Amino acid sequence: MSEKPEHFIIDGKRLDGRRRDELRPIKIELSPLDRADGSCYLEWGRNKVVAAVYGPRELHPRHRQNMTGAVVQCRYNMASFSVDERIRPGPSRRSVEISKVIRQAFEHVVFTKFFPKTAIDIYIEVLRADAGTRTAGINAASLALADAGIPMRGLVSACAVGKVDGEIVLDLMKEEDNFGDADVPVAMTSDNRITLLQMDGRMTTEEFYKALELAKTGCTTVYELQRQALVEKYDNEYQAEGGLDE
């Protein structure tokens, strides 16, 4: 693990040169996996994640089926080689918790009632981690769900906010996440309904509301990138099929 830096913000710039309210660069690729119903590969700074969605498909074992709607399931996994110190393969307390909160971030956004007795499975694989993997996973999963054609109230967009050197900053990188004062991952729909909110560390109430406002602006930027990625994909497919008939 890297060492705690003496300062996180020097002359108004963070360790990687960003402003306090700046996101790391995001790159999105839709449908990289042709065997999944929907998929998305996403890079966010030095994070690399892939999300795959299967379903709606019949849920087994049957006693887990819900007669009034689909069951959303999620598995978040970090590859052994995704961090400096090799991670033991298989579930850990951390991955079980993250899988659960990501599932909850989508449960009330997906129109599950259209698909009784089925499962909608979300798989998130983290290939390279640099803080913010759950938020990167949510952004990728949201697009993978849309790519699978699963009806939703809207896209879910996520980013973390936090506190370092006593200041509120957007989108923590690893050193800020590991050694900062607070880390607050947030996910929300485009009409600002929060579907995930966690907090590690401490903030005053005033700082928390300031951080939440900053998270909103971060999620709005992420949403715009997600929307663009979808529009580009469907536009390209439409053009490939011959576009408008003259």
Does the footprint of ligand CDP cover residue 181 (CB under 6 A)? no
Nearer to ligand CDP, 92 or 236 (CB): 92
Nearest to 190 by CA among 140, 162, 225, 161: 225
Nearer to ligand CDP, 178 or 217 (CB): 178
Nearer to ligand CDP, 48 or 134 (CB): 134
Nearer to ligand CDP, 110 or 161 (CB): 161
The answer for residues whose C-beta is within 8 angstroms of residue 81's C-beta and 6 or more apart is 127
Does the footprint of ligand CDP cover residue 134 (CB under 6 A)? yes
Stretch binding ligand CDP (CB under 6 A), from 33-41, 150-158, 170-178, 228-236 = 170-178
In one letter, which amino acid is 179?
Answer: F
Does the footprint of ligand CDP cover residue 132 (CB under 6 A)? yes
Does the footprint of ligand CDP cover residue 171 (CB under 6 A)? no
SS percent in the chain: helix, strand, coil, step 5:
35, 30, 35
Any idea what DSSP says for residue 102? H
Q: Tokens standing for 239?
A: 């053009």
Cα 36 versus chain centre, distance = 18
Among 37, 43, 121, 130, the residue binding ligand CDP under the rule CB under 6 A is 130
> Which backbone phi and psi does 239 adopt, to 5 degrees?
-65, -40
CB-based contact 173:131 (threshold 8 Å): yes
Nearer to ligand CDP, 14 or 134 (CB): 134
| Residues within the interface to ligand CDP (CB under 6 A) | 83, 87, 94, 129-134, 174, 177-178, 183, 185
